[in-house]
């Protein structure tokens, strides 16, 4: 694909599935870096230098039957990368050890809550201080929202929408994927919230965008 030649884009775009659009945009230098906040990341990617060293020390301790080292605390430093994923193990402030099934809904409900987004933006600013500082992006960005990120009706109604509205307002473009299959699965199979639907989530999101950009 060559983005100066529309024909190559039209020919290639049908061959792309799922997240391949994003990977292709990086390969074509249309997009420089990607930051992902999702419910699948149990740890940062790439791993910070601190956690890498910690993991090595844990292995050594286990092999030599020595006491385990203490896990380091944030902030961490990170190697350079094009795709970053932010750890999202449980809701911010949950101190249950280990996290269990009761953690799930509160974690979902924090999806775009200020405590959650501030926490993730802080980690992203540690990952790339040249791109994000003081929880603000210093470069132009596209905000891509998948509706299946929202597992409950409550999850798209933050009590404090300030950071969510900032991210919306400051973006160049917003893209939205309905992900209808997954939204239906969350409501009907997993029964996280049977009232949730693509229509409800889309209406709520468009309303947020309208208010944020007024």
Binding characters for Zn ion, 13-52, by CB under 5 A (x = yes): ----------------------------------------
List the structure tokens of 59. 């292995």
List the structure tokens of 124. 């992203």
Cis before 156 (ω within 30): no
Q: Count how many residues are written for the chain.
A: 214
List the structure tokens of 194. 């049977």
Query: Taking the complex as a whole, how short is the minimal distance between the CB of residue 103 and Zn ion, in angstroms?
Result: 3
Residue keyed to tokens 């009706």: 153
Calpha distance 156→145 (Å, rounded)? 12
Binding footprint of Zn ion, residue count (CB under 5 A): 5
List the structure tokens of 70. 């203490």
Q: Which is nearer to Zn ion, 108 or 164 (CB)?
A: 108
Q: Taking CB under 5 A as the rule, does residue 96 contact Zn ion? A: yes
Query: Taking the complex as a whole, how short is the minimal distance between the CB of residue 171 and Zn ion, in angstroms?
Result: 30
First to last CA, the chain: 37
Q: Taking CB under 5 A as the rule, does residue 174 contact Zn ion? A: no
Q: Which is nearer to Zn ion, 35 or 192 (CB)?
A: 192
Query: Taking the complex as a whole, how short is the minimal distance between the CB of residue 188 and Zn ion, in angstroms?
Result: 25
Query: What residues line the site for Zn ion (CB under 5 A)?
Result: 90, 94, 96, 99, 103
């Amino acid at each position: 694909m060559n983005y100066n030649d529309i024909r190559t884009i039209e020919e290639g775009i049908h061959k792309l599935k799922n997240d391949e659009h994003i990977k292709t945009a990086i390969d074509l230098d249309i997009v420089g870096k990607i930051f992902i906040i999702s419910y699948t990341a149990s740890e940062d990617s790439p791993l910070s230098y601190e956690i890498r060293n910690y993991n090595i020390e844990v292995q050594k301790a286990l092999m030599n039957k020595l006491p385990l080292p203490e896990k380091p605390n944030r902030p961490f430093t990170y190697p350079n990368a094009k795709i970053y994923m932010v750890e999202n193990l449980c809701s911010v402030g949950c101190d249950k050890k280990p996290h269990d099934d009761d953690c799930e809904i509160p974690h979902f409900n924090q999806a775009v809550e200020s405590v959650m987004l501030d926490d993730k933006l802080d980690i992203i600013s540690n990952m790339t201080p040249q791109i994000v500082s003081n929880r603000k992006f210093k470069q132009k960005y596209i905000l891509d929202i998948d509706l299946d990120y929202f597992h409950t009706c409550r999850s798209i109604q933050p009590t404090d929408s300030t950071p969510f509205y900032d991210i919306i307002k400051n973006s160049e473009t917003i893209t939205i994927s309905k992900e209808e299959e997954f939204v239906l699965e969350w409501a009907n199979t997993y029964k996280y919230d049977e009232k949730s639907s693509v229509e409800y989530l889309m209406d709520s999101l468009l309303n947020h965008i309208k208010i944020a950009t007024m």
